[in-house]
Amino acid sequence: MGYLPSSGASCFMISPANIEKSLPVNWLQGAQLGLPKPIGKEYQRKMSDCVDTAILQRHTLDDILDIVCQEVQQISGAEGARIWLLEDDGWLRLLRQRGAVIRDLEGLPLAGSFSALAVQQKKALLTNDPANTPQLIQRYPELTSLLVLPLILDDKVIGLLHALNKPGGFTADDMRILSLVAKQAALAIENERLHEQVKEAAVLEERTHLARELHDSVTQALYSVMLYADATRLALAAGRQTVATENLQELRKMARQAMADMRLLLFQLHP
């Protein structure tokens, strides 16, 4: 059952039955006339709220995508669900899977596949007869039905959502409702990407700050060493042996301190 675990009360149960309870009474009158259920916007709002709550509670991307996979199974009756990220090299990299999936796969080539059609057309596709679907390059006897939904962000396909093996086959309603789930999956992936960019920017800023400190520290240390070296030279020229010895001792002390400071800063710069 689809829900968001939390430290307090659990998130709402997202299912068609629960959504119908929140629909207005006049929906029943429409249903008697054969009108479609107004489930799309209500479901999208609830699913969006659930994903937003997960993001605000700083759940990991895996947690959120696991919620998405649960919803795919709960809503459609699919035996398994997979979420893929589309890489620049044209391969699909597995992000999350749940349920009875077809073999353990870490990646799939996109070119010439059934999934490639969904990417090219930017729309969901289904087949309830995989054995006779030409675009399914790799044949899996255990695959009985497949629904492929592109994850689209800013009109660009960033990944795919696969629903696998629904008893009786997938329908147009499954495609319509799960397209809403795919939208939330795309938003969750994008949010994680932006979060990583913010973290990387913060790390880069800190490293730049430390590098500046290292530069200033080294410059100051070298300048002090030069001053003491010049003072020692002048003291020796004037026959002031004691002063020259003291200057050399200070110079040695400063050099050691400078080395210690540089080691510390270099350690902090290390990723």
pLDDT of residue 124: 93
Beta bridge partners of residue 93, listed in sequence order: 85, 107
pLDDT of residue 162: 94
pTM above 0.75, yes or no: no
Query: Roughly what angle, to the nearest 10 degrees, separates helices 172-237 and 39-56?
Result: 20
Residue 42, token pair as written in the block: 């209500």
Question: How far is the C-alpha of 222 from the C-alpha of 187, rounded, in Å?
Answer: 52
Question: How far is the C-alpha of 74 from the C-alpha of 244, rounded, in Å?
Answer: 84
What percent of the chain has pLDDT above 70? Answer: 73
The ranges of the chain with pLDDT < 70 are 1-59, 102, 135-139, 268-271
The C-alpha angle with vertex 176 and arms to 121 and 97, in degrees rounded to 5, equals 80
pLDDT of residue 50: 62
Q: Are 198 and 249 in contact (CB under 8 A)?
A: no
